[in-house]
Amino acid sequence: MQEVQDQTWSEIPHVFVQGDHTAKSRKDDPRLESWKKIAVMRVNPTGSPFRPAFFNEINPVPQFCDEPWEDIEKFGMRVGPEDVYFAIFAAPDVGLELIGIYDINDPAVKNVVLF
């Protein structure tokens, strides 16, 4: 999946994140709150407007926020059991960087905005 998506999405800032195989599937537990890992990302340059999105093999059509976000230094997205791409829709000069994968209760990410 990664190679194909990297070619398809070469113009869209995105990062690939391996799934948390300890997380329950949405069929077994539809509450995303049960997913305990989050991918924390940074938009460069900070303050640029963007719309966060995600997609994977199960949901190949990107799901994204309707309204643009801005003035956000870092943001996080929950990591489920499947490998996933996180992306942003933004101006051509805006990039996306994966800072790391954290436990949702880690004090280092307590102020991170979640999508």
pLDDT tens digits, one per residue of 7-27: 555 678 999 999 999 998 877
Q: Where are the alpha helices (DSSP H) in the chain?
A: 2-8
**Are 70 and 63 contacting, i.e. CB atoms less than 8 angstroms apart?**
no
Is a pLDDT exceeding 90 seen at residue 67? Answer: no
Compute the distance between CA of residue 16 and CA of residue 10 in angstroms, rounded to an integer. 12
Q: Is the pLDDT of residue 87 over 70?
A: yes
- 3 state SS of 30: coil
Contacts of 24 (CB under 8 A, 6+ apart): 34, 35, 81
Whole-structure pTM value: 0.84
- Cα diameter, the chain: 40
Task: Look at 39-43, 58-62, 108-112 and tell me which has the smallest mean pLDDT.
Answer: 58-62
Beta strands in 18-58 (DSSP E): 37-44, 50-55
